[in-house]
Amino acid sequence: MVRTKNRYIVVQIRPATAMKALHMKDHVITKCVLHNVKKYYGDYGLGIIEKGFRIKYCNDSTKIAIIRCAHRSHKYVQSTLPFITMIGDVRAKFCTIYTGATIMQCNKFIIKHQQQVLDRMVGNIASAKERNDFIKRVMEFEIE
């Protein structure tokens, strides 16, 4: 049996207006990406990416998603993502931040990326008391 190779694309969804949490479901993002691939590459492009395409992870609070697609079709998906301006009924865009061969490498990248974002946010806080309060709030954050 032949192993199918996949590529995992880590994207950050950036809404046009500032939102605390982006309430997106997997099927909304899937429908949006498939529609745009069909728009730019036609039935041929849609047929190529449909086999291995799936949204593996979507986090509303960090606005990060992982898209899985077949190895031979990931370039169709990656080249279409910058042209997407509407996701469902929200005006937003995709920013590709990493492409990996395994989902474990993508998870490692996301952890490192979020740590850098947190370090930047903590660095912008002037007083030590506010910085400690911010770190305490982040550590007590519970994912629902």
CB neighbour list of residue 82: distance below 8 Å, 6 or more residues apart:
93, 94, 96
CB neighbour list of residue 27: distance below 8 Å, 6 or more residues apart:
none
Dump pLDDT digits (tens) for 16-59: 887 766 777 889 999 999 999 999 999 999 999 988 899 999 98
pTM of the entire predicted model: 0.83
33 close to 84: Cβ distance less than 8 angstroms: yes
- Confidence check: pLDDT of 144 > 70: no
Residue identified by tokens 């989902």 is: 103
CA–CA dist 123, 115 (Å, integer)? 12
CA–CA dist 72, 55 (Å, integer)? 17
Domains of the chain by range and CATH?
A: 6-102 (3.30.70.3250)
Q: No. of H helices and E strands in the chain?
A: 4, 5
